[in-house]
Amino acid sequence: MRYFVLLPLIAAGLLSSQALPEYRSLFNGKNLAGWVNVNTDPDTWRVEKGLLVCKGKPIGVMRSDRQYENFLLHIEWRHMESGGNSGVFIWSDAKPGERSRLPNGVEVQMLERDWVKINAKDGVEPPFAYVTGELFGVGGVKTVPDNPRGERSFSPEMRCKPKGEWNTYDVVAVDGTVKLSINGKFVNGVAKSTQKKGYLCLESEGPAIHFRNIRILELPPGITSAEQTAPEIR
């Protein structure tokens, strides 16, 4: 993050550069330090050639080792097979349901472009909105969509790349509002999330997916009640 407007103040000694928030890595490229396997197999997640590799089975999640409230999240991902399904949950309780095997929170969807073709019913494909970084509350968490598709919010522009190609998501999460940039352009958002502090969870659901360059920049906290905070996992 560059703060060019603050540089004159730093140069004048009126503001310390140490006070500026900075991105820090959530994945070191060597091991799974900082992450906790919640309900997947021991070999579902692994590190391979500096990448975080998820084999996609069984359905479940891996969570961050601590909670986050207000932040900027940068994450790069690519599906390795047609129709891949994954995502990142923010502000999550990291406590999956027995049937869904997924936790609550706000999901930032990551689908491969062929998902709509593979999941066609009676020759009718689902709308492209499914694969453009949908945002939605799950597990009882409610949000207000910027671009409604029912209770979900979709990007009006197709920006996700096909299998084998890297996608970049930049997520701004502040005080219950989420804005999503897909490959360099802000295209989607939700607001008024009923839960706005919790864990980050990476999702295993289908074919293999790779992650890299997972970084977070924490921002100052807001006025968040206990009811708006996921329970701490001890």
Specify the pLDDT at position 127: 82
CA R_g for the chain: 18
The residue assigned the tokens 């492209």 is 128
For residue 13, what pLDDT is reported? Answer: 63
Whole-number Å distance between alpha carbons of 170 and 228? 23
CATH (residue range 15-223): 2.60.120.560
Q: What is the pTM of this model?
A: 0.90
For residue 91, which of 212, 188, 174 has the smallest C-alpha distance?
Answer: 174
Tokens of 60: 């479940």
Cβ atoms of 218 and 70 within 8 Å: the answer is yes
In 3-state terms the chain splits into helix, strand, coil percentages (rounded to 5) of 10, 40, 50
H or E element in which residue 233 lies:
none
Q: What is the pLDDT of residue 1?
A: 45
Q: How far is CA 28 from CA 24, 25, 175, 217, in A?
A: 10, 7, 28, 15
Which residue carries 């970049």 as its tokens? 168
Low-confidence ranges of the chain (pLDDT < 50): 1-3
User: Counting Cβ atoms within 10 Å, is residue 173 exposed (0-12), middle (13-18) or buried (19+)?
Assistant: buried
Reported for 113-117, long-range contacts at CB under 8 A and 24+ positions apart, including other chains, are: 113/158, 113/160, 113/161, 113/162, 113/163, 114/82, 114/83, 114/162, 114/163, 115/83, 115/84, 115/85, 117/82, 117/83
Contact 136, 193 (CB under 8 A): no
Domain boundaries defined on the chain: 15-223
Give bridge partners of residue 24 from the DSSP assignment.
Answer: 216
171 near 179, Cβ under 8 Å? yes
